[in-house]
Chains A and B, each alone.
Chain A
Amino acid sequence: MTEDAFISIRKVDKHFGKVQAIDSVSIEIGHGEFFSLLGSSGCGKTTLLRMLAGFEAPTGGEIFIDGQPMSDVPPHMRPVNMVFQNYAIFPHLNVRDNIAYGLRKQRLSRNRRHDLVEEMLELIKLPGFGDRRANELSGGQRQRIALARALILRPKVLLLDEPLGALDKQLREQMQLELRALQRTVGITFVFVTHDQEEALTLSDRIAVMSQGRVLQLDTPSGLYETPHNREVASFIGTMNFFDAKVSGVNGARVEVEAAGLGRINAPARDRRYVEGESVQIAIRPEKLELTADAPLDSGISVQGSLENAAYLGERSHFFVKLDGLDQPVAVSAQNREGATIGTDATGPVWLNWSEASVVVLTSD
């Protein structure tokens, strides 16, 4: 990744007085990648994006874009464009002039300019909107104008700060699809900020999960979901069952743990080193667990418990299973297929089954 990294953020810090908004962040982003910064509000996503755009200077470290160090490059000279969180549409200009705003320096002929703007209006599916004023537009339309205004300059990088945050759910989902399609069409690098994990998983090639100014894990969506590195990532993305555990044996690619409620079980080591006696946590996604009424033939990857609670949610059902030695019930999510052995009206003892590959071992770091 390092050689063809297009954006290279190297050990960047940012302090606002006593507040450390960014703490030694290093990220490499490839050409044409859809890269997301994901984290809860206040974790430093906007600050990092504003440093890429040049509105904030890093307190330490260096940012390279296309091989060039950015520290002395002012915002208007950077090969990046930004879609602001509240869109920052120019209210005194109509849609056409908003989109054409950045073209002044290119000294295009009137016709060429007009064509480019019309092309953009087509691309963002707002043909014929050129003469509208900014305050006659809906949130979704404004968002698209902000996008067109940036894209018309053919930037090497597009920075998007929670661009869909202000839209209602239905529009947001539609815009997600359009955004992803658009990114494939124009082929520029997107750095996308969001606090919505589902949105990040849907859109991104890779995601950096942030917390308190640091990157917790940088991975593909499936990597983050299937093999989170620590509890914070695991609980931030999707729902997860956690079990306190102790390493009881290391055996090449497998690690054996003694987990509360589950007993002695095996898990893939996934290239991590464990020492015997080390305190770890076991994590299993609710949909990786299966409930059966009878004991499975192969013991060791199942445990008996009692069904405490169940909820029918249409396409799926949620079950909560009480295990011996655990305060919290274990969440199980099951697709509502025909012939499911356990219904939501069931009670009493059940068996909890899982496959070894779905077990994730989390260390404390």
Chain B
Amino acid sequence: MSSDTYIKRPNRPLQLYAVIFLIALYAPVLFLPLFSFNDSLYVRFPLKEFTFKWYVELFQREPVWNALMNSVRIGVVVAVLSTAMGIFAAKAITRYRIPGRGTLVGFIMLPLVVPLIIFGVALLVLLSQLGVPLSLYTVAIGHMIICLPFSVATLIPRFEGFDRAIEEASADLGENAWWTFWRVTFPMVFPGVVASLMLTFTVSFDEFIMAFFLSGTQPTLPMYIWGQLRFPQEFPSILALASMIIAMSFVLVFLGQWINRGAQPGAVKGHDT
């Protein structure tokens, strides 16, 4: 990887821009962990003593654990289902001649740009019309809508990134479509599947608006945080909780990206002579 070709040579202003961009993006977020270790009820400088007590307090609270388990359960179910649907959608989009393919992809990606409050309200109206009681299940349905585009967007490059002749070779060697999928296609897209699972879990875990509209009596973790903001004495613990959520989200998303790092089309190894 020599970096002195025309396209790849270092570009100082661009590097500076990237650094400033990242600072602007993440500096506010970094205040959360900073104050979560501060031995004071109030979020203000100067900092006091270093302490773990807010974290300790957090772990002693029953409702935090309940909310956490709710979010994890929804996250796992949503991640598995939306990734499974994403696999079929991505395979269909990349492998078959579908009329109106662009439009179809557009509709799948729509939840990324339509305000979630609209989806939330629409689903709420629909569910109440149908007489479905609000629960963790309804939250999961809402999250599926949000997560599917993330899953499809993660998986499509994986499907496009390998040569169709590999699937034909499998058929040629005697395997039908089912076995070809499990012996060739799935292993080839597997890094994308892992990335999609991690990404969709994180999206669901962090999601607030859909949960706000669609949850019943059982809160998810973001809902719990929202509820606790009314109580000033709880605030440092909430900072501690938020810090942990951020850390976990970072880890999951970056791990997913790292596992899926070869996904650019043409980056599949074994084809260059």
**A-to-B contact residues, CB < 8 Å:** 53-55, 74-77, 80-82, 84-86, 88-92, 101-102, 104-105, 133-135, 138-139, 142, 149-150, 153, 166
- Give per-residue flags for B248-273: 1 if the beta carbon is below 8 A from chain A beta carbons, else 0: 00000000000000000000111101
Contact across chains for A76 and B165 when beta carbons are under 8 A apart: no
With A54-B171, A139-B273 given, name 20 new contacts (CB 8 A): A53-B172, A75-B168, A76-B175, A81-B172, A85-B165, A86-B165, A90-B170, A91-B162, A91-B268, A91-B271, A92-B187, A92-B188, A101-B170, A101-B175, A135-B270, A138-B273, A149-B169, A150-B173, A153-B173, A153-B174
Q: How far is the CA of A323 from the CA of B170 in the complex (A)?
A: 59
Q: How far is the CA of A139 from the CA of B170 in the complex (A)?
A: 20
Residues facing A in B123-182 (CB within 8 A) are: 162-163, 165-166, 168-176, 179
Contact across chains for B170 and A86 when beta carbons are under 8 A apart: no
Contact across chains for B169 and A88 when beta carbons are under 8 A apart: yes
Q: How far is the CA of A54 from the CA of B172 in the complex (A)?
A: 8
* Residue numbers in B under 8 Å from A104 (CB-CB): 174-175, 179, 183
Is B112 close to A, CB under 8 A?
no
Contact A55:B168 (CB < 8 A) given known A90-B184, A91-B268, A139-B273: yes
Q: Which of B165, B171, B270 contacts A75 (CB 8 A)?
A: B171
Shortest CB distance A96–B (Å): 15
Q: How far is the CA of A231 from the CA of B88 in the complex (A)?
A: 53
* Residue numbers in A under 8 Å from B174 (CB-CB): 76-77, 102, 104-105, 153
Q: Which of A54, A91, A101, A149 contacts B270 (CB 8 A)?
A: A91
Contact across chains for A101 and B273 when beta carbons are under 8 A apart: no
Q: What is the chain B residue whose CB lies nearest that of A82?
A: B172
Q: What is the chain B residue whose CB lies nearest that of A105?
A: B174
Q: How far is the CA of A246 from the CA of B187 in the complex (A)?
A: 67
**Pairs A–B under 8 Å by Cβ, sample size 23:** A75-B172, A76-B174, A81-B173, A82-B168, A82-B172, A85-B165, A86-B163, A88-B163, A88-B165, A90-B166, A91-B268, A91-B269, A91-B270, A92-B184, A92-B188, A101-B170, A101-B175, A101-B183, A104-B174, A104-B179, A133-B270, A149-B169, A150-B173
Count of B interface residues, CB-CB < 8 Å: 23
* Residue numbers in B under 8 Å from A90 (CB-CB): 166, 169-170, 184
* Residue numbers in A under 8 Å from B166 (CB-CB): 88, 90-91
Q: How far is the CA of A54 from the CA of B268 in the complex (A)?
A: 26
* Residue numbers in B under 8 Å from A76 (CB-CB): 171-176
**B-to-A contact residues, CB < 8 Å:** 162-163, 165-166, 168-176, 179, 183-184, 187-188, 268-271, 273
Q: How far is the CA of A153 from the CA of B183 in the complex (A)?
A: 18
* Residue numbers in B under 8 Å from A138 (CB-CB): 273
Contact A84:B270 (CB < 8 A) given known A76-B176, A105-B174: no
* Residue numbers in B under 8 Å from A166 (CB-CB): 273
Q: What is the chain B residue whose CB lies nearest that of A101?
A: B173
Contact across chains for A135 and B172 when beta carbons are under 8 A apart: no
Q: How far is the CA of A138 from the CA of B271 in the complex (A)?
A: 10
Shortest CB distance B19–A (Å): 36
Q: How far is the CA of A90 from the CA of B269 in the complex (A)?
A: 10
Q: How far is the CA of A77 from the CA of B166 in the complex (A)?
A: 17
Contact across chains for A89 and B270 when beta carbons are under 8 A apart: yes
Q: What is the chain B residue whose CB lies nearest that of A166?
A: B273
Contact across chains for A74 and B273 when beta carbons are under 8 A apart: no
* Residue numbers in A under 8 Å from B188 (CB-CB): 91-92
Q: What is the chain A residue whose CB lies nearest that of B268?
A: A91
Q: What is the chain A residue whose CB lies nearest that of B180?
A: A76
* Residue numbers in A under 8 Å from B171 (CB-CB): 54-55, 74-76
Q: How far is the CA of A101 from the CA of B184 in the complex (A)?
A: 10
Q: How far is the CA of A102 from the CA of B173 in the complex (A)?
A: 5
* Residue numbers in B under 8 Å from A77 (CB-CB): 174
Q: What is the chain A residue whose CB lies nearest that of B167?
A: A88
Q: What is the chain B residue whose CB lies nearest that of A80?
A: B172
Return the 4 tightest CB-CB contacts between A and B, nearest first. Answer: A91-B270, A102-B173, A88-B165, A88-B169
Q: How far is the CA of A89 from the CA of B268 in the complex (A)?
A: 12
